[in-house]
A and B are shown apart, each in its own frame.
Chain A
Amino acid sequence: MMKRLEQCVPPGVDGAGELGTIYVLWALTGFNMLGRMIPFFEALQYLREHGGTLFQFWYYFTAPRYIFPVLVLPVMVIVSLLYLGAKIVAHYQSYRTGSRADYTMRRLPDRREYHRRALALPLVGLAGLAIIVAVTFAADVALYFWLAPAEGLPSMFQWPC
């Protein structure tokens, strides 16, 4: 496992350490996304009881911020994206730190190796992040459909009167 991990980062880079950081970022992003569901859940419950004009207002102006986390990114998603972006830069930079190891990497018979090692782990991190965001987004939508009053649902989901 460790050996395979070492082959996914530029030679000499601490792949295990970076993967550990990615796990932590995934966990924090997950908590961040789930944490956003609590006020969303409470707001939906409150509005379900009071409904009417207030719900319409909330529905149009506030709900999208919760339901579409991609539009208003939670802080941990931004932090994770910054970290992964910085790692891509650092990986390419590592080929030129202390030597010109990029000369060796660029003359390997497998020409993809140079970019593969620089990008593999950050892209895994990015994929994990996308899954977390997608799952929590799906949970947000499910929660909304479960709790929102009928007037807040698209017509196809409303019971015919």
Chain B
Amino acid sequence: MLEIKHVSKKYGRREALTDVSFSLPRGQIVGLFGENGAGKTTLMKSILGLTKFQGEITLDGKPITGANIARLSFATSEHSFFPALNAKEHREFYRAHFPDFIDNRFHALMAFFALPEDRPIGRCSTGQKNQFETVLALSQGADYILMDEPFAGNDVFNREDFYKVLLGLLTERETVLLSTHLLEEVQGFVGRALLLHEGRLIGDVDLSEAEERGEDLMSIVRKAYGYRADRVKEALDALGGDDQDA
């Protein structure tokens, strides 16, 4: 169980996270949603120990240290691979540092995405770089796979195929925390939604329960963020009014 307890983070005076608490048990696919600057990336970096924070984050009751950090993996749209290394060299590096590296998953995903094995990743296309980033995160052998906008720059067909493959390959011990703006694409894929707004957790929704109530992810998000469906009409009316005045 990954537990986030009262986590806050400030960048100067700006509060990036304010008293965020939730827990992630094994075997869930969880969506982390929020507007730009809501604190999604900061939250993931806090979990991974890449940034300092107030509060407590534990993995099975223990703080995250070198002893258990291998149980967390990370795919980010910023990319965390080594641009000068090719796929084979990355595999060697990961195998040397992460004892649970899943070799056959790595090869299967490389084949699925048709990624080149001998070309330095830095010389691949943006889409291929994203794919390789997720291949590494999924192959590391981690229990908790954190993905921060991993598909930015990938075409929709690639993304859809990838969701299907992901559903097929994850085991019951693996949890995915997926941060993305592509709500409609992932709503059939995630089982739980965490909603961040201005650094605060404003919603933690079990989507199967919501479905029973007749709600889908989009309507939950619209409600949580106070989205006004009539604002487009209002704006158009106002523009039309300007035209008439002219």
Q: Give A residues with C-beta under 8 Å from B.
A: 10-13, 97-104, 106-111, 113
Contact = CB atoms under 8 A, between A and B. Distances in A.
Contacts of B72: 107
Given A11-B89, A106-B50, A101 B97 contact: no
Interface stretch (B12-20, B63-71, B206-214): B63-71
B84 interface: yes
Given A99-B79, A101-B82, A113-B97, A107 B49 contact: yes
Nearest to A99: B79
Given A98-B83, A107-B48, 8 more contacts: A11-B82, A12-B84, A104-B81, A107-B49, A108-B66, A109-B66, A109-B97, A111-B66
- 6 A-B pairs closest in CB distance: A12-B84, A98-B83, A103-B80, A99-B79, A11-B82, A104-B80
A3 to B, nearest CB: 9
B82 A99 contact: yes
Nearest to B93: A11
A12 B83 contact: yes
Given A11-B84, A98-B83, A110-B97, A103 B66 contact: no
A98 B121 CA distance: 10
Interface string B72-94: 10101011111111000100010
Contacts of B79: 99-100
B122 interface: yes
A100 B78 contact: yes
Interface in B11-68: 48-50, 65-67
A109 B67 contact: yes
24 contacts: A11-B82, A11-B93, A12-B82, A97-B83, A99-B79, A99-B81, A99-B122, A100-B78, A101-B80, A101-B82, A101-B83, A102-B80, A103-B48, A103-B78, A104-B81, A106-B49, A108-B66, A108-B69, A108-B97, A109-B66, A109-B97, A109-B98, A110-B97, A111-B65
Nearest to B120: A12
Contacts of B78: 99-100, 103
A90 B67 CA distance: 29
A72 B177 CA distance: 59
A11 B67 CA distance: 22
B126 to A, nearest CB: 12
Interface centre among A11, A101, A104, A110 (most CB of B within 10 A): A104
Nearest to B89: A11
Contacts of A11: 82, 84-85, 89, 93
A38 B106 CA distance: 62
A158 to B, nearest CB: 60
Contacts of A113: 97
Contacts of B69: 107-109
Interface centre among B66, B67, B78, B98 (most CB of A within 10 A): B66
A81 B95 CA distance: 35
Contacts of B93: 11
Interface centre among A13, A97, A101, A107 (most CB of B within 10 A): A107
B50 A103 contact: yes
